A and B are shown apart, each in its own frame.
Chain A
Amino acid sequence: MEALTWTGSAAFLNPILMVTVGLLAITVAAWVVTSLFTAGARPVTGADGTITLAGNPTAMVGMGVRLSFLATAAVLLAYILLGLAMGTNAGIIGGMTQQFTPVWIALVAMFALSIVFKRKLGLYGKLFDSPIGMIGFGIVMFWVFTAIFAAMDMIATHDALSQVSGMKNKVPGTPLRSAEDGDYHWYLLGGDNLARDVFSRMVKGSTEVLKYAPLATLFAFMVGITLGLPAGYYGGRLDTFLSFLANLILAFPVILLFYLLVTPEIVDTGLPQYMAVVLFSFPLIFCAVLLHSRFKTQPSKNMTYLAIVLVPLFLLYMSLINSADSKIDFWPLDFFDIPGGVLVVFVSVVFVNSPTVFRIVRGLALDIKTRDYVAAAQTRGESTWYIMLWEILPNVRGPLIVDFCLRIGYTIILLGTLGFFGLGLPPESPDWGSTINDGRKLLSIYLHPALPPAFALMSLVLGLNLLADGLREESLKD
Chain B
Amino acid sequence: MGLFILRRSAVMLLTALCLTFIVFVLTNLYPNLEKLAKTQGNFRMSDEAVASWLAGNGYAQPTPVKYGQWLGVLPGWTLETEEGIKGRCITGFATAEQAAEAPQFCGILQGDWGYSTRFKKDVGSIIETRLGNTGFLMMWVLILMVPSALIIGILAGMREGSVLDRSLSTVSIATTATPEYVSGVIFIAIFTSSTVGLKWFKGTATSAMENPTFENFFLPVLTIALYGMGYIARMTRASMTEVMTAQYIRTARLKGVSFPNIVIKHALRNALIAPFTVILLQIPWLLNGVVIVESLFNYKGFGWALVEAAGNNDIELLLAISVVSVVVVLLTQLISDIGYVFLNPRIRIS
Contacts and interface: CB of A to CB of B under 8 A. Distances in A.
A465 B329 CA distance: 26
A248 B188 contact: no
A31 B163 contact: yes
Interface string A380-421: 000000000000000000000000000001000100110011
A69 interface: no
Of the candidates B179, B188, B291, the one having the most CB atoms from chain A within 10 angstroms of its own CB is: B179
Interface stretch (A90-98, A280-288, A453-461): A453-461
Contacts of A458: 177-178, 182
Interface in A23-73: 28, 31-32, 35-36, 40, 58, 62
A87 interface: no
B325 A443 contact: no
Given A433-B181, A450-B189, A256 B163 contact: no
Contact of A450 (B163, B185, B287): B185
A445 B203 CA distance: 11
B192 A255 contact: no
Interface in A429-449: 433, 436-437, 439-440, 443-447
A35 B322 contact: no
A313 to B, nearest CB: 30
A247 interface: yes
A266 interface: yes
A443 B15 contact: no
B292 A451 contact: no
A12 interface: no
Interface residues of A, number: 54
A254 interface: yes
A269 interface: yes
B162 interface: yes
Contacts of A184: none
B21 to A, nearest CB: 11
Given A35-B162, A247-B15, A253-B322, A420 B203 contact: no
Contacts of A461: 177-179
Interface of B is mostly: helix
B240 interface: no
B133 interface: no
Interface stretch (B58-66, B119-127, B193-201, B206-214): B193-201
A273 B303 CA distance: 28
A455 B189 CA distance: 12
Contacts of A420: 181, 292
B8 to A, nearest CB: 11
Interface stretch (B26-34, B72-80, B86-94, B107-115): B26-34
Contact of B185 (A40, A266, A446, A451): A451
B179 A416 contact: yes
B326 interface: yes
A462 B177 contact: yes
Given A58-B163, A255-B288, A444 B194 contact: yes
A191 to B, nearest CB: 15
Nearest to B27: A260
B296 interface: yes
Contacts of A368: none
Interface of A: 28, 31-32, 35-36, 40, 58, 62, 244, 247-248, 251-256, 259-261, 263, 265-266, 268-269, 271, 409, 413, 416-417, 420-421, 433, 436-437, 439-440, 443-447, 450-451, 454-455, 457-458, 461-462, 464-466, 469
Interface of B: 11, 15, 18-19, 23, 26-27, 29-32, 34-35, 162-164, 167, 173-174, 176-179, 181-182, 185-186, 188-189, 192-196, 203, 284, 287-288, 291-292, 295-296, 303, 306-307, 310-311, 313, 318, 321-322, 325-326, 329-330, 333
10 contacts: A244-B11, A251-B329, A255-B303, A256-B321, A259-B310, A259-B311, A265-B35, A417-B288, A451-B185, A462-B177
